C-alpha cells in the first residue's frame, strides 16, 4: 500500500481530462484541464487562471468570512458576494432605528461605509504540493504534526502570511496554502432583505428563482497595501486582479466557470455511510431543526426586534434543514446505495486479483459502521438538540471549568473563566429568553422520547421527574427548563461576573443548568466517546486506503479530490434542464416572474414599494436583454457546494456574469453523488445586480468605479 500511496500525487498531476460539468479542480493543476476548457469555449490560458508570478484570476477571488466566497470588482478594493453571506454582518451593524437588513443600505461615499467587526477576507497567495516532503519525513520517523508545523511556520514568513496544510484524496496528498488575511472590511451596499432573501425558505434550493442575492463590501489596507487592523488611516486595498463586469448577458450553452471555496463533499462515501445518512443522521437533523425553527419563527413574527436579533441564526439553521430534506430525497431517487454497492463489489474483485492487501477494506467498513450505527442518532440529538440552546452552550464551558477546578488546575480554570466572558458576549447576540427556554424544553423532551432509555443519562428519572413528575400533561420538561433558567448564575450578569473573577466549585455544583449539561457530557464520555473515536479513526484509515485503491484501479480516470474549503475551479456551460416528464426549465428567469410571485405582506414574497414602482415602469436601459426584459437569475451545470456561495460566474474572457448562490432541488445528492443530468448552479445575473445598484440604490459612485463591459 505504501508504494500505492506515494503514486497518488503523481496520479493527480498526470491524468486525462473528463467531463467539464463535474469536478472541483485544484487551481495550480488547472493546466491539465485547459484543452478541455478551451474546447468548451474558454479563451484564456492556464496562467490566466492561476499564477504565482503574475496577476491571475485567483487573485480576484477571496475566502469571505470563512464560509463563503467573494470577488474583487474594482481597483479600489470593492468586493461583491451573496446577500446571505453578508447577512450576519449586515444584521450586526443594523438597529431597529437604522435597519439596514430590512431597508437596505448604499454608501454614496467612502466616508459612509460601515466597519464590519470580525469579518475577514483571505486572498490565496500560493499553493505548493508538499506530499513528498511529508512522506519523506514520515519515513524518518518524524511526527506528522511537527512536519506540518515546520512547513507552515516557514511559509508564514514571520507573520506576513497565514498558511495551512490541507489534505486531499482522503489524506493521500498534502498541499500547503499561503494566504494574506485582511481584517478591515466595511459594508458598502446591500438591497433590502425582501430582495436579498426573496422567496425565503419556500424558494431555497429551488429553480426557477428570482432572488437578488448580493451584498457589497470594501477591503481596506495599510498605506503600503498590506493587511492591517481597522483604522481610520487605512485606505482601500489595491488588488492584484479584479473582475470586469460584463452586462452583455448570457446565452444558452455559453462557457461558464466558477472559482471559489467549496466547503465539504463526500463523493467517496461508501454505501454504508449513505445508508446511515438516509436512515439515521439526516432525519434526526431535520426533526431537531424543524422544532427549533418553529419556535424561533413564532417569536420572530411577533416582534421586529426579535426578528432582527435572530435573523442570521434562523437563516443558517433553515438553510441546512431544507438541505438535508432534499439530500435524503435525491439519494433515494438516484439509488445511490445500489450504485455504491456495485462500485464496492468491483473494487473488492479488483483487489483480490491485483492488490490483496486491500481485499478486506469493504468488509472492514461494514464492521466499522455496524459498530457505530446504534449510537449515531444519540450523537446527533446531543449536538443538534441538547447543546443547541444558548444556555447549554454556556453550561458546557462551565463544565470544563469545573473539571479543571476538581483536578486542582487553578491556572487552567482561571484562563478558561476569562475566555468565558467573551463567549457569553458572543452567544448573547443570538439570545432571546423565551425562545431559548422553549428550545431547551423541547430538545429535552425530544431526546427523552426518541433516544433509547439505555443510552440516556440518569438525570431524567433521578432529578427532572423527581422535581416535576412526568405525567400525561407532558409539562415536566417545560417546568424544568423554566426552573433551570430562573436559578442559573449563567444568565445573571452580576453573579456571572463574580464567578468569572473568582471561579467557585460551589457555584458550579449547585447550578441546575451546569448539572444538566454535565449529566449529558458525562454520559457521552462514559458510553459513546470511545465508540465514536474508534469509528472516526477506523473510517479515516479505511477511506484513505479505499481512495488510493480506487485511483490505482482506474489509472486513466481524471480524479478530483473532495471539497475541503480550499480554492477550486469548476467549468461548464449555461444550461437549462428538464426535471421531469413534460416539464422543461429555461436557463434564465426575468423580472416578470419575480413580480408574478409577489404577495403583499407575505413573510417571503413581499417587495419594497420603491422597487415595485421601478419594476413596473420596466425601464431597464442598458441592463435589458435583446427582448427588453431584465434577466434576474440563470443556471449553469457547474459543480458547486456550500462555501461556493458568492462565487463568480466567470465568462470565457474572465469577466463577471453573475454570482452563484444556490443549487437545485433535483440534485441535492451532490455532496455525496454527482448527478450529471440534473446538477445545476443557480446564479443571480449581474445585470439584475447592476440595475438594483443603479436604479434602486442610486449608487452611481459604485457603478463608476467598476470596469463595465457593454
Considering only CA atoms, give the Rg of the chain. 26
CB 116 within 8 A of CB 91: no
CB 173 within 8 A of CB 12: yes
- Catalytic annotation on 84? yes
- How many whole angstroms separate alpha carbon 392 and alpha carbon 373? 26
Q: Which helix (H) or strand (E) holds 114?
A: strand 114-115
- Catalytic annotation on 213? yes
Following DSSP, what letter does each residue of 157-188 receive, concatenated? TTTTSEEEEEEEGGGTEEEEEEEEEE--EEEE
Q: What share of the chain is helix, strand, coil (3-state, %, to 5)?
A: 50, 15, 35
CB 238 within 8 A of CB 59: no
- How many whole angstroms separate alpha carbon 523 and alpha carbon 357? 38
Cβ neighbours for 10, distance < 8 A, ≥ 6 positions apart: none
- How many whole angstroms separate alpha carbon 324 and alpha carbon 317? 11
- How many whole angstroms separate alpha carbon 558 and alpha carbon 556? 7
- How many whole angstroms separate alpha carbon 101 and alpha carbon 304? 12
Choose, from 51, 74, 284, 645, the residue flagged as catalytic: 645
Task: State the number of CA atoms in the 13 A half-sphere of 675 facing the CB.
Answer: 25
- How many whole angstroms separate alpha carbon 144 and alpha carbon 25? 26
CA separation, residue 234 to residues 111, 124, 231, 256, 676 (Å): 12, 21, 5, 36, 47
Cβ neighbours for 244, distance < 8 A, ≥ 6 positions apart: 654, 655, 656, 706, 707, 708, 709
Closest-CA residue to 67 (of 201, 264, 205): 264
Look up residue 111 and give its three cell numbers. 466616508
Cβ neighbours for 53, distance < 8 A, ≥ 6 positions apart: none
Apex 308 CA angle, 302 and 313, nearest 5: 105
Apex 64 CA angle, 63 and 68, nearest 5: 85
Choose, from 21, 63, 74, 84, the residue flagged as catalytic: 84
Number of Cβ atoms within 10 Å of the Cβ of 136: 13
- How many whole angstroms separate alpha carbon 279 and alpha carbon 324? 12
- How many whole angstroms separate alpha carbon 178 and alpha carbon 155? 7
Q: Cell 416582534 sits at which residue?
A: 303
- Catalytic annotation on 210? no
Burial state string for 409-441 with b = 16 or more CB within 10 A and e = fewer than 16: eeeebbebbeebeeebeebeebbbeebbbbbbb
- Helix 83-92 vs helix 304-333: angle between axes, to the nearest 10 degrees? 160
Residues marked active site are found at: 84, 213, 645
Amino acid at each position: 500500500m505504501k508504494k500505492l500511496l506515494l503514486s497518488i500525487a503523481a496520479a493527480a498531476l498526470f491524468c486525462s481530462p473528463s467531463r467539464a460539468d463535474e469536478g472541483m479542480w485544484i487551481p495550480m493543476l488547472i493546466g491539465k484541464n485547459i484543452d478541455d476548457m478551451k474546447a468548451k469555449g474558454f479563451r484564456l490560458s492556464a496562467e490566466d487562471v492561476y499564477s504565482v508570478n503574475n496577476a491571475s484570476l485567483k487573485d480576484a477571488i477571496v475566502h469571505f468570512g470563512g464560509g463563503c466566497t467573494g470577488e474583487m470588482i474594482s481597483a479600489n478594493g470593492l468586493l461583491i458576494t451573496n446577500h446571505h453571506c453578508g447577512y450576519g454582518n449586515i444584521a450586526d451593524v443594523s438597529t431597529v432605528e437604522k435597519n439596514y437588513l430590512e431597508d437596505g443600505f448604499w454608501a454614496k461615499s467612502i466616508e459612509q461605509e460601515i466597519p464590519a467587526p470580525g469579518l475577514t477576507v483571505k486572498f490565496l497567495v500560493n499553493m505548493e504540493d508538499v506530499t513528498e516532503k511529508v512522506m519523506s519525513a514520515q519515513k524518518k520517523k518524524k511526527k506528522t504534526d511537527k512536519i506540518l508545523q515546520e512547513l507552515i511556520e516557514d511559509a508564514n514568513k514571520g507573520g506576513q502570511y497565514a498558511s495551512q496544510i490541507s489534505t486531499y484524496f482522503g489524506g493521500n496528498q498534502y498541499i500547503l496554502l499561503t494566504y494574506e488575511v485582511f481584517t478591515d472590511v466595511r459594508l458598502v451596499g446591500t438591497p433590502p432583505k425582501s430582495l436579498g432573501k426573496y422567496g425565503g425558505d419556500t424558494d431555497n434550493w429551488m429553480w426557477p428563482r428570482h432572488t437578488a442575492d448580493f451584498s457589497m463590501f470594501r477591503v481596506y489596507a495599510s498605506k503600503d497595501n498590506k493587511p492591517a487592523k481597522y483604522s481610520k488611516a487605512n485606505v482601500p486595498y489595491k488588488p492584484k486582479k479584479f473582475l470586469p463586469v460584463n452586462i452583455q448577458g448570457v446565452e444558452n450553452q455559453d462557457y461558464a466557470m466558477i472559482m471559489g471555496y467549496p466547503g465539504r463533499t463526500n463523493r467517496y462515501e461508501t454505501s454504508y455511510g449513505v445508508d446511515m445518512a438516509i436512515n439515521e443522521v439526516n432525519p434526526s437533523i431535520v426533526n431537531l431543526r424543524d422544532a427549533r425553527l418553529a419556535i424561533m419563527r413564532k417569536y420572530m413574527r411577533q416582534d421586529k426586534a426579535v426578528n432582527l436579533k435572530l435573523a442570521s441564526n434562523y437563516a443558517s439553521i433553515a438553510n441546512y434543514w431544507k438541505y438535508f430534506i432534499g439530500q435524503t430525497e435525491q439519494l433515494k431517487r438516484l439509488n445511490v446505495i445500489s450504485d455504491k454497492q456495485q462500485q464496492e463489489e468491483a473494487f473488492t474483485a479488483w483487489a483480490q486479483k491485483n492488490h490483496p492487501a486491500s481485499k478486506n477494506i469493504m468488509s472492514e467498513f461494514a464492521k466499522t459502521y455496524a459498530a457505530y450505527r446504534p449510537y449515531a442518532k444519540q450523537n446527533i440529538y446531543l449536538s443538534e438538540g441538547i447543546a443547541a440552546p444558548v444556555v447549554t452552550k454556556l453550561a458546557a464551558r462551565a463544565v470544563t471549568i469545573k473539571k479543571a477546578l476538581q483536578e486542582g488546575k487553578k491556572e487552567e480554570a482561571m484562563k478558561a473563566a476569562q475566555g468565558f466572558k467573551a463567549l457569553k458576549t458572543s452567544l448573547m447576540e443570538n439570545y432571546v429568553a423565551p425562545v431559548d427556554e422553549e428550545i431547551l424544553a423541547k430538545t429535552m423532551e425530544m431526546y427523552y422520547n426518541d433516544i433509547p432509555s439505555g443510552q440516556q443519562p440518569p438525570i431524567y428519572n433521578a432529578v427532572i421527574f423527581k422535581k416535576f413528575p412526568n405525567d400525561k400533561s407532558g409539562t415536566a420538561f417545560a417546568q424544568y427548563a423554566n426552573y433551570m433558567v430562573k436559578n442559573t448564575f449563567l444568565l445573571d450578569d452580576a453573579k456571572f461576573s463574580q464567578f468569572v473573577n473568582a471561579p467557585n466549585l460551589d457555584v458550579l455544583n449547585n447550578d441546575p443548568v451546569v448539572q444538566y449539561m454535565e449529566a449529558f457530557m458525562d454520559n457521552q464520555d462514559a458510553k459513546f466517546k470511545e465508540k465514536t473515536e474508534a469509528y472516526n479513526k477506523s473510517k479515516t484509515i479505511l477511506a484513505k486506503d479505499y481512495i488510493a485503491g480506487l485511483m490505482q484501479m482506474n489509472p486513466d480516470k481524471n480524479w478530483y479530490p473532495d471539497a475541503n474549503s480550499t480554492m477550486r475551479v469548476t467549468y461548464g456551460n449555461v444550461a437549462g434542464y428538464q426535471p421531469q416528464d413534460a416539464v422543461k426549465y429555461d436557463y434564465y428567469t426575468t423580472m416578470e416572474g419575480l413580480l408574478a410571485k409577489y404577495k403583499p405582506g407575505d413573510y417571503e414574497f413581499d417587495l419594497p414599494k420603491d422597487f415595485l414602482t421601478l419594476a413596473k415602469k420596466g425601464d431597464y436601459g442598458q441592463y435589458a436583454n435583446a427582448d427588453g426584459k431584465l434577466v434576474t437569475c440563470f443556471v449553469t451545470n457547474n459543480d458547486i457546494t456550500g462555501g461556493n456561495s458568492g462565487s463568480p460566474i466567470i465568462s470565457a474572457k474572465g469577466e463577471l456574469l453573475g454570482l452563484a448562490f444556490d443549487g437545485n432541488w433535483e440534485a441535492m445528492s451532490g455532496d455525496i453523488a454527482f448527478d450529471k443530468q440534473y446538477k445545476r448552479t443557480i446564479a443571480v445575473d449581474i445585470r439584475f445586480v447592476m440595475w438594483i445598484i443603479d436604479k434602486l440604490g442610486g449608487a452611481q459612485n459604485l457603478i463608476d468605479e467598476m470596469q463595465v463591459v457593454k
